[in-house]
C-alpha cells in the first residue's frame, strides 16, 4: 500500500501549452523557462516533452544545465542568473551554454577568462538591463558601455539584450508602468546589434508587440497564469494535478472543533473528512478554512488548520464522500491559481513546493 497522494504530470498539456506559446509569440523564438525543476514538473521530463517545440531552455541551476547537455539536449540553453565564478563561466563556455551578464564584476571575470581562452573558443551571452526592477542588470545609461566592453573580446560572438518586467501582470502599475520599462529598454539598447528578449508569460499573453526575436515563457507552459485572467481564458491546460484520497470521516456537532488550535468550530451538524495531504507534502499551511478543494468531483472547502500530513474538508453536502473518495487539491478541475489566491500566494509557489516525498506519475 502506498499513501494515496500523487502528483500527476500531463505531458500532452505541457506540449499543448508550449504550442500555444509558440503561436502567440509569432516570429519570436521561445525560451522555455524550466528553472526550479520546471516549476515542479520535472526538468528532464519537461525538456523531453518540449524538445521539438521550443527553441531553448532557460534556467538557473548550473548542475542541471550541464546534465541537460550530458543527456543530449542539443538546442540552446540560457542561464538566467548567469555565473557566480570563473569555474561556472568556463563550464558554460565548454558546454555551449549561454548566460546572463548583469554586473561589472562579471565582465571582469569574463575578460580574465578570455585572456586564457583561444580566440576561436567563441560564445554567446545576454546582457541584462535594469529597467526598474532593481534586481539584476545595468542601468539604461550604462548599458551601451558594458555592451561595447564585451563586444571587444574576440571570443564574444552574439550579445543578446534582455530585461525583466516588474509589472507585466499589472500594466498600469502607478509606480512602474509596463510601458515605462519598455521605453527604458528601447532607449538603453538603441543602436546596439543583437537579439532582444524581454517578454515573460504575462507579456506574451497580453503584449505581443514586445515579443521581438525571443521570448521567455515560464508559468504559461505549466497551464497557470501570472495573475491575469485565468489559464482557461488563454486556452492553457493545467499540467500538474495534485490528488489524494479521503482517509477518515468524522460526524461532528455544533460547537465541535477541527484540527490544531481548534480554529474551526462547527455551527451545525457536519461531516468533516480528512485528506492524506499536508504541509509536508507542499500544500500551503497558510491556506485558511474555505480554501477550494474537490472531493468526489464536487467543489467544497477546507476546514481547520492544515496539519503536516493531513487536512480537513467539509463533505456535509457530498453524501457520496467516504473513505477512499478521490480528492483534487489542484489540477484540471481546480486551477492552482484559485488555491493560491485563497492562501495569499501565487500558483508558481505552490507548483514549485510539492515535496519530494510525493510520488510522481506521468500521463501521456
Ligand X SMILES: *Cc1c(COP(=O)(O)O)cnc(C)c1O
C-beta of 310: minimal distance to ligand X in Å?
Answer: 31
Q: Are 17 and 237 in contact (CB under 8 A)?
A: yes
Give the nearer residue to ligand X in terms of CB position, either 164 or 305: 164
C-beta of 217: minimal distance to ligand X in Å?
Answer: 6
- Give CB contacts under 8 A, 24+ apart, made by 193-198: 193/159, 194/158, 194/159, 194/160, 194/161, 195/158, 195/160, 195/161, 196/160, 196/161, 196/162, 197/31, 197/126, 197/160, 197/161, 197/162, 198/162, 198/163, 198/164, 198/165
Give the nearer residue to ligand X in terms of CB position, either 215 or 321: 215
Cell of 324: 477512499
Residue number closest to ligand X, CB atom: 218
Helix, strand, or coil here: 16?
A: helix
C-beta of 128: minimal distance to ligand X in Å?
Answer: 8
Give the nearer residue to ligand X in terms of CB position, either 196 or 305: 196
User: In the beta sheet, which residues pair with residue 274?
Assistant: 248, 312
Active site (annotated) includes residue 260: yes
Catalytic residue among 7, 22, 29, 35: 35
C-beta of 224: minimal distance to ligand X in Å?
Answer: 9
**How close are the terminal C-alpha atoms of the chain, in Å?**
25
C-beta of 308: minimal distance to ligand X in Å?
Answer: 29
Task: Cite the beta strand spans of 60-179 per DSSP E.
Answer: 76-79, 98-101, 123-129, 156-163
> Interface with ligand X by CB under 6 A: which residues?
33, 35, 80, 164, 200-202, 216-219, 226
Give the nearer residue to ligand X in terms of CB position, either 201 or 302: 201
* Dist CA 141 CA 1 (whole Å): 62
Give the nearer residue to ligand X in terms of CB position, either 159 or 315: 159
Helix, strand, or coil here: 148?
A: helix
User: In the beta sheet, which residues pair with residue 56?
Assistant: 31, 76
Residues with catalytic roles: 35, 260
Amino acid at each position: 500500500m502506498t499513501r494515496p497522494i500523487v502528483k500527476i504530470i500531463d505531458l500532452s498539456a505541457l506540449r499543448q501549452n508550449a504550442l500555444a506559446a509558440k503561436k502567440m509569440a509569432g516570429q519570436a523564438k521561445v525560451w522555455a523557462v524550466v528553472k526550479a525543476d520546471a516549476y515542479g514538473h520535472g526538468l528532464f521530463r519537461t525538456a523531453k516533452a518540449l524538445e521539438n517545440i521550443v527553441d531553448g531552455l532557460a534556467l538557473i541551476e548550473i548542475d542541471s544545465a550541464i546534465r541537460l547537455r550530458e543527456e543530449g539536449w542539443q538546442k540552446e540553453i540560457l542561464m538566467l542568473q548567469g555565473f557566480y565564478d570563473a569555474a561556472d563561466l568556463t563550464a558554460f563556455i565548454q558546454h555551449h551554454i549561454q548566460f546572463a551578464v548583469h554586473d561589472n564584476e562579471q565582465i571582469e571575470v569574463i575578460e580574465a577568462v578570455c585572456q586564457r581562452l583561444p580566440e576561436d573558443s567563441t560564445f554567446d551571452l545576454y546582457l541584462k538591463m535594469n529597467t526598474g526592477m532593481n534586481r539584476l542588470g545595468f542601468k539604461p545609461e550604462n548599458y551601451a558601455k558594458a555592451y561595447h566592453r564585451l563586444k571587444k573580446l574576440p571570443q564574444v560572438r552574439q550579445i543578446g539584450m534582455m530585461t525583466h518586467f516588474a509589472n507585466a501582470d499589472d500594466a498600469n502599475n502607478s509606480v512602474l508602468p509596463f510601458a515605462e520599462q519598455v521605453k527604458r529598454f528601447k532607449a538603453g539598447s538603441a543602436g546596439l546589434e543583437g537579439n532582444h528578449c524581454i517578454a515573460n508569460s504575462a507579456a506574451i499573453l497580453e503584449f505581443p508587440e514586445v515579443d521581438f526575436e525571443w521570448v521567455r515563457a515560464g508559468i504559461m507552459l505549466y497551464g497557470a497564469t501570472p495573475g491575469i485572467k485565468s489559464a482557461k481564458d488563454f486556452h492553457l491546460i493545467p499540467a500538474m494535478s495534485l490528488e489524494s484520497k479521503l482517509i477518515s470521516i468524522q460526524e461532528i456537532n455544533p460547537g465541535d472543533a477541527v484540527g490544531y488550535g481548534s480554529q474551526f468550530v462547527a455551527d451545525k451538524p457536519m461531516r468533516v473528512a480528512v485528506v492524506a495531504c499536508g504541509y509536508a507534502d507542499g500544500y500551503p499551511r497558510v491556506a485558511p478554512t474555505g480554501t477550494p478543494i474537490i472531493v468526489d468531483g464536487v467543489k467544497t472547502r477546507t476546514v481547520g488548520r492544515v496539519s503536516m500530513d493531513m487536512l480537513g474538508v467539509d463533505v456535509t453536502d457530498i453524501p457520496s464522500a467516504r473513505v477512499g473518495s478521490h480528492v483534487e487539491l489542484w489540477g484540471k478541475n481546480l486551477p492552482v491559481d484559485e488555491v493560491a489566491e485563497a492562501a495569499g500566494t501565487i500558483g508558481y509557489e505552490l507548483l514549485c513546493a510539492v515535496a519530494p516525498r510525493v510520488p510522481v506519475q506521468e500521463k501521456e
